[in-house]
Structures are given as C-alpha cells and as structure tokens.
A and B are shown apart, each in its own frame.
Chain A
Amino acid sequence: DADVTQTPRNRITKTGKRIMLECSQTKGHDRMYWYRQDPGLGLRLIYYSFDVKDINKGEISDGYSVSRQAQAKFSLSLESAIPNQTALYFCATSGTNYGYTFGSGTRLTVV
C-alpha cells in the first residue's frame, strides 16, 4: 500500500456542488498538507495541519476547508465548487526530517 493515499484519483463535478477529497497516511507523521498544482505554476499550499488539533491556512485557502479527523486522515472540502478550482490536488505529509511524502494526486474538474 502507498504511504499516502488520496481518493478519488479523478473527479468531475458541477459548479456549486460540494466535494470532499480524502487523504490517509501510514507514515505516522504529524504534519499533513494540501497543495494544488496548476499548469505553469508551482505547487501552492491550501491548508496544513501539524497535529489533530492544529489547522492553518496556506496561501490560497479561500473556497476550501479542511478536517483533520485523526493523525492519519486529512480531508479537503470545496463547499461550492467553481471552475477555477479545476486542478491537480496533492496531499503530503512530513516528519521531523523536513522532506515531504506526496500522494498520487486527485485530478479535479469543475464544469
């Protein structure tokens, strides 16, 4: 099994719908992150969490919310999806050695 698992892998949704992207990890890491990736842009941080009781906004949090259900689970929600939220979304974890472990990504299309 992958260290960081994201579901779904692909999703097409309509404008205005609520959608949740899920992430689970088996690394035992406390720190978890959600990034989005767009053509021509670097990965941009949406939200991050350093433990179950800690949630922090990243640089592009508007339109998104997160929930850290357990150390191993961190979900990202789009309350009312809009077309410019079409992107690749990555969940990542990190331990004390700084480097990230990324999931395989979720390709989200909002039509």
Chain B
Amino acid sequence: DIQMTQSPSTLSASVGDRVTITCRASQSISSWLAWYQQKPGKAPKLLIYKASSLESGVPSRFSGSGSGTEFTLTISSLQPDDFATYYCQQYNSYEFTFGPGTKVDIK
C-alpha cells in the first residue's frame, strides 16, 4: 500500500498569510493526487485533483503542485473561511489512501 505523510501536522497562521502544506507519497504516484478541505462536523470538500487542477467553484487562492512523490498545497492569502483541516489523497492505485491531515488554525 502507498503511505501518505503530511507536514506540518498543525499550522498556525494569520489572515493574509501565504500557507504551504507538503504531502509525500511512499512511492511514485505520478500526478494522481487530490487535496480536500474539511471543517469540524462537515464532509470533506474537494479542492484540487490531478495534483494541480482546481476543482470548479474553488477560489483561485488555492493551488497545487508536484508530481512523483512530493506535492504541495498553497493558499496564497489565507482567508477566515480557510481555517480547517486539509488532507491529501493518492489515487494512483488501490487502496486509495489519505494523508493524516494538516490543521490550519488561527495564530
């Protein structure tokens, strides 16, 4: 199985900050990576698929990059609505696996 790791596990930031979250895969997954945002008590929301494609309706301040085993999610200017937990997910091969999550909270 492909293992996913994320860093940091928690990130404290202020509104307007540029935020970067890193996701690493235990083996190459090409660009088969998605990013999700989840708020407490809510279902996850797809932000990015195929490593860098922005899902329809997602603000352009979110961007993704990377390929192979290292990926990043960047929020160019953090907004109040962005305080949440972010998960990466590989779908290169079964079993699809998620990273452990990165919680973005208020500094």
The answer to whether A and B belong to the same complex is: no
